A and B are shown apart, each in its own frame.
Chain A
Amino acid sequence: MAEHSKMTMIQAINSAHDVLLERDERTCAFGEDAGYFGGVFGCTQGLQEKYGKTRVFDTPINEAAIVAMAIGMATNGMRPIAEIQFADYIFPGFDQIVSELSRLRYRTAGEFTAPLVLRTPCGGGIYGGQTHSMSPEAFFTHIPGIVVAMPSNPYDAKGLLIAASESDDPVLIFEPKRLYNGPFDGDPHKPALSWSTHEKGNVPTGHYTIPIGKAEIVRKGDALTVVAYGTMVHVALEAARLADIDAEIIDLRTLVPYDMETIAASVNKTGRCVVAHEAPRTGGFGAELIAQIAEDCFYALEAPVKRVTGWDTPYPHAHEWSYFPGQARVTRAMIETLEA
């Protein structure tokens, strides 16, 4: 049995870097404040000291150049892991991701590839206001050529990061920052929970991977299917528990390519489905999931598929908890779906 240790999501991400830097000298990690300081959330803390400044280093504040530099390094034999300090700050790098990174393999017919990882904290729940709270995954799931993932716990965060770095495709990992230090079930009035008592906070200290493109059923059930990812996995679990609804809850983990096989099997079994994400509703990733569910599972459905999402507004600071799609909204959607 592999050695395990209690880890927060931050420690698990740090451990994934450590494993990769140790095993593969092509690995390097960088980002704004990511070197000496170890990142504003500490995801790369201690790694510069351990591996030196040419492997773990600070970058100037230029997200376009961070992405482009990672592309350049990856095309020259390295396996870069770049941190974008907040997902809200990724947009100066958007052109490099959309026009360059995602298409490099295609436009060169495979002559050039950029196997790199971009990591970035996303989501609200920390009173970050509109520039530290976004869940912008839908901008990126629309781009052919990049893998998009969002783990919901330390175990998956580490395994996905290692799998991403070892993948030959570029991977963008969104890390829900509200989950960094403990699971969060959507109730801001409860004392903060700890990963130390959560089974997914028990993480192998060494190398392992979580397969890209594979969802996990985190709760088995027959009444309806809830497809969620990131923070909303925990919100859905608690909502189902409190409302005593026998929901089958799927943690998508990878958004592109998503695990339609697992979703379809579940929806075909339950005949009812709710999709939940923290990002805004219109054009959100939930719309894609529901369209595919409609195509693949239409004759099994007994009720319209519902969405629980953030509102179509910027993420407000003071009214964060009116914006966040919490337990009440998930529960209502589940009940409406069951009663439809």
Chain B
Amino acid sequence: MRVEITKSRKNKGINAHICSQNMSDYMTRAPSSNTPGFTVPEPVARPGDTPDFSGLGLNPDTLATRPDPVCPANDTHVLANTLIRVLDDEHCAQGEWNPELSAKQLREGLHLMLKTRLYDERMLKLQRQGKMSFYMKSMGEEAVAVAAGLALQAQDMLFPSYRQQGLLFARDRDMVEMMCHCLSNSRDNLKGRQLPVHYTWKDGNFFSISGNLCTQFPQAVGWAMASAVQGKDAIAASWIGDGTTAEGDFHGACTLASVYNAPVILNVVNNQWAISSFSGIAGSENASFAARGIGYGLATLRVDGNDFLAVFAATKWAAERARSGHGATLIETVTYRADAHSTSDDPGRYRPKEEATAWPLGDPIERLRKHLIALGEWDEKRHEALSEALTKEVLASYKKAESFGTLREGPLSPVPSMFEDVYAEQPWHLRRQRQDLGV
């Protein structure tokens, strides 16, 4: 019964930009288990192996075309099996998808991505010091959140998963408030009820993050439908990971978004890993995640998620389409989870340590930095100064946040608050239970 893992997919790279070619390549790949009729996919590289991303279709021969945002969904389906890129390997902006951002806008993007990264790094350290129970970084995926956040309007509702803290920075959420939530302290706007990084920010149109997967995807569709019903201009956007596309709620969201022509953007952040499971366990070897939208008749885009300009342009395109009543878009942002899933994870046990640095789409911050330098709008000195200023800002914010307490040392939200918000009014049995606890 014992099955040897084959590595026959090595060097079978997809180098196609046309839908049919790409799909046929997906279909002809060798199975990775030798039991006929039962295949368990296996990543090309495990710990100790050389990272190999040649099979992911990340090097299309030509630049993707940009259809009109109000085109029929069919016209976008070719874009589900290529890769929309703007920043090329020489750090120049190319092609029809170039959003033509000003230097000021580019610098803002760089600023926010760097802020997100430095925030994450600091929070991880503090978690290691026992200041909070848990943390999840977004390293390597900053463009996915920050660029989308900047491309959307403030009125648009965000239904994120747990790795889009960059959206909060893009909407200028107070860093102290974010930290107070993570510390579960007396100033935590969620009263210590949620795990760290499971933010909520109603005033910023940032929905509550659930620990359960994909639940927010069809909720975003519902929110968008309500917006349309009420004649409002606001659209919704949601984010899930590649692994989460396997959940039934993904099907529900895509179906309803298509059936009701809902003004929503459905983002699949394909960061290659769902804890220890590579994207192949969610079926990436047989079809791209963007291509799942084809069967639902949604508009579909597959985007270089580490390319700030491409993510911005794709989001802008999908937002224009949704806002003008032309329906939903499924966007796959191809990126790489450059660090552990969470502070409870040890990726060294299931993937090569060098994978993050070998990732062919590079680092989103580095790429935008080099682009700005190539434009003559940035230099090393300014970058260093920005980095220093942000580090100081993070430290100062933490100092302030800590003055409101930490999970270990307190103060926390008052104990009786744990019985509040279960219902609008506290029923007799909860009142009695609160009294039982003596608070």
Contacts and interface: CB of A to CB of B under 8 A. Distances in A.
Nearest to B214: A61
5 tightest A-B contacts by CB?
A: A318-B192, A131-B211, A60-B246, A37-B276, A129-B195
B27 to A, nearest CB: 19
A40 interface: yes
Contacts of A35: 40
Contacts of B42: 36, 53
Given A33-B277, A53-B3, A61-B247, A313 B419 contact: yes
B145 to A, nearest CB: 21
B349 interface: yes
A251 interface: no
Interface stretch (B217-225, B320-328, B396-404, B410-418): B410-418
Contacts of B407: 127, 318
A55 B2 CA distance: 8
Name B's interface SS: loop
Interface stretch (B70-78, B91-99, B365-373, B429-437): B429-437
15 contacts: A25-B1, A52-B2, A53-B33, A53-B40, A58-B277, A61-B247, A127-B134, A127-B195, A129-B193, A311-B419, A316-B193, A316-B418, A317-B195, A322-B418, A323-B418
B244 interface: yes
Among A35, A54, A61, the most chain B Cβ lie within 10 Å of the Cβ of A61
Interface string B232-244: 0000000000011
B210 interface: yes
B429 A131 contact: no
A282 B5 CA distance: 50
A144 interface: no
A62 interface: yes
A311 B418 contact: yes
Nearest to A25: B1
Interface in B145-198: 184, 188, 191-195, 198
Contacts of A33: 275-277
Interface string B17-49: 000000000000000010100101010001000
Interface of B: 1-3, 5, 33, 35, 38, 40, 42, 46, 133-134, 184, 188, 191-195, 198, 210-213, 243-244, 246-249, 274-277, 281-283, 344, 349-350, 407, 412-413, 415, 418-419, 422, 429-430, 433, 436-437, 439
Contacts of A54: 1, 3, 33, 35, 38, 40
Q: How large is the interface on A (under 10, 10 to 19, 20 to 34, 35 or more residues)?
A: 35 or more
A59 interface: yes
A51 interface: yes
B248 A130 contact: no
A122 B437 CA distance: 23
B210 A131 contact: yes
Interface string A43-67: 0000000011111011111101100
A36 B33 contact: no
Contacts of B244: 61
Contacts of A40: 275, 344
Contact of A311 (B46, B193, B433): B433
Contacts of A127: 133-134, 195, 407
Contacts of B40: 35, 53-54, 57-58
Contacts of A281: 429, 433
A290 to B, nearest CB: 16
A84 to B, nearest CB: 12
Nearest to A35: B40
A130 B196 CA distance: 11
Given A33-B277, A40-B275, A130-B195, 13 more contacts: A36-B42, A36-B350, A53-B5, A55-B1, A65-B248, A92-B248, A129-B194, A129-B211, A311-B418, A318-B191, A318-B193, A319-B412, A319-B415
A227 B119 CA distance: 48
Nearest to B132: A127
A37 B350 contact: yes
Interface string A304-318: 000000011110111
Contacts of A59: 281
Given A37-B276, A127-B134, A282 B3 contact: no
B437 A311 contact: yes
A32 B5 CA distance: 19
A204 interface: no
Among B1, B38, B439, the most chain A Cβ lie within 10 Å of the Cβ of B1
B422 A312 contact: yes
Given A61-B244, A88-B212, A312-B433, A52 B193 contact: no
A37 B248 contact: no
A60 B133 contact: no
A72 interface: no
B415 A322 contact: yes
Nearest to B4: A52
Contacts of B188: 318
Interface string A64-91: 1100000000000000000000001101
A221 interface: no
A132 interface: yes
A191 B419 CA distance: 29
Contact of A61 (B133, B198, B274, B413): B274
Contacts of B349: 37
B406 to A, nearest CB: 10
